[in-house]
Amino acid sequence: MRHRPLLSLKVRALRLTFQALRTLAPDLAHRGAERLFCTPRRHPTPEMELAAIRESRTFHFVSNGLRLRAHVWGEGPVVLGLHGWEGRGTQFHAFIQPILEAGFSLITFDQPGHGGSQGRQGGPLDWAQAIHALVRVTGPIHGIVAHSLGAAGAAIAMDQGLAVPRVVFLAPPAEPDPFYSGLLSLLGFPEAEHPAAFQAYAERLGLPWDRIRLRSLAAHLSGPLLVIHDQGDREVPWSSGAAVASAWSSARLLTTHGLGHRRIVQDAGVIRQAVAFLQLVPASTSLPILGDGPRSLEWHLFHRDLRTA
């Protein structure tokens, strides 16, 4: 209760600042809103994730000049775990053992501005570019499991040519509109100005707004997709995942209850369903020993003690 007046003062100060900017320099106001929208907070890493890091092979790769941190467990065909906004790759720690037991390896990484990676800002396009940069290091991947905004990054990467045999989306947001609208309203932008702000954001990204909306992308993508979404998700409503599954031609929707938005990544039943779905297509490509990082011969020779499969 004591923090509410302070928070209110901060919000009122922001609103006054943006009101002045909208009057004097509308473009600057849009840029300021975009900056706030694209700046994540970094959160402490809990012990369970730190334990998973200790069991991993950690490597780094570069995307758009930023050094991004990644982890790999196992030696089989690659399953890529993509975290959501303000998350970390190691939030997939509960997936590690089931993935390895199924004969796969698991790779996760911290998106730009998240976890142990460089950068202060990020968004779906940056995330898609990071996925492509990672795949240039690791080689082909067998499947993706993406949580929340990670699903949007995966979809943009696929729209840009990434080949993935099987994909699992956990609580995917159908579009960024309501989230950006919420911030714009908080900053005092009248609702009538929101479409212009959306357009300005898309133009600076260099993508049409429909190529940012996951629901729109889904209509152009194909291949097996499993969407798992909780009926009681308060951050990304279940209707969002249902819309993505409906738009994607070969998607299946699985509804859970009582998991919310974050526990869905840790739930044993969800993990079992996701891994079983990934196994439906035979995987024949192991993690190749090429180049730098986890693919290098030197890495495998000098890190045998870290192998987990």
The domains of the chain are located at 1-37+180-207, 48-176+212-306
| Helices 177-186, 194-205: inter-axial angle, 10-degree rounding | 120
CB 117 within 8 A of CB 180: no
Give CA separation, 264 vs 82, 244, 270, in Å: 14, 17, 7
pLDDT at res. 153: 96
- Out of 53-57, 209-213, 261-265, 274-278, least confident range: 209-213
Which H or E element spans position 70?
strand 66-73
Q: What is the CB neighbour count within 10 angstroms for residue 184?
A: 22
Closest of 161, 258, 168, 160 to residue 205, by C-alpha: 160
Asked if residue 3 has pLDDT above 60, the reply is no
Confidence of residue 97 (pLDDT cuts 50, 70, 90): very high
Secondary structure of residue 227 in the 3-state scheme: strand
Instruction: Tell me the pLDDT band of 5, cut-offs 50, 70 and 90.
Output: low
pLDDT(151) > 60: yes
Cut 0.75: pTM above it: yes
Contact yes or no for 106/74 (Cβ under 8 A): yes
CA gap 264, 170 in Å, rounded = 7
Cβ count near 247 (within 10 Å): 18
Whether the CB-CB separation of 111 and 117 falls below 8 Å is answered with yes
CATH 3.40.50.1820 assigned to 48-176+212-306: yes
Q: Which of 178, 184, 242, 237 is nearest to 213 (CA)?
A: 178
- The closest of 99, 93, 112 to 45, measured between CA atoms, is 93
177-234 pLDDT, tens digit per residue, is 999 999 999 999 999 999 988 888 888 888 888 888 999 999 999 899 999 999 999 9
Quote the pLDDT of residue 209: 84
Contact yes or no for 146/170 (Cβ under 8 A): yes
- Using the structure block, give the residue that is written with the tokens 């975290």: 83
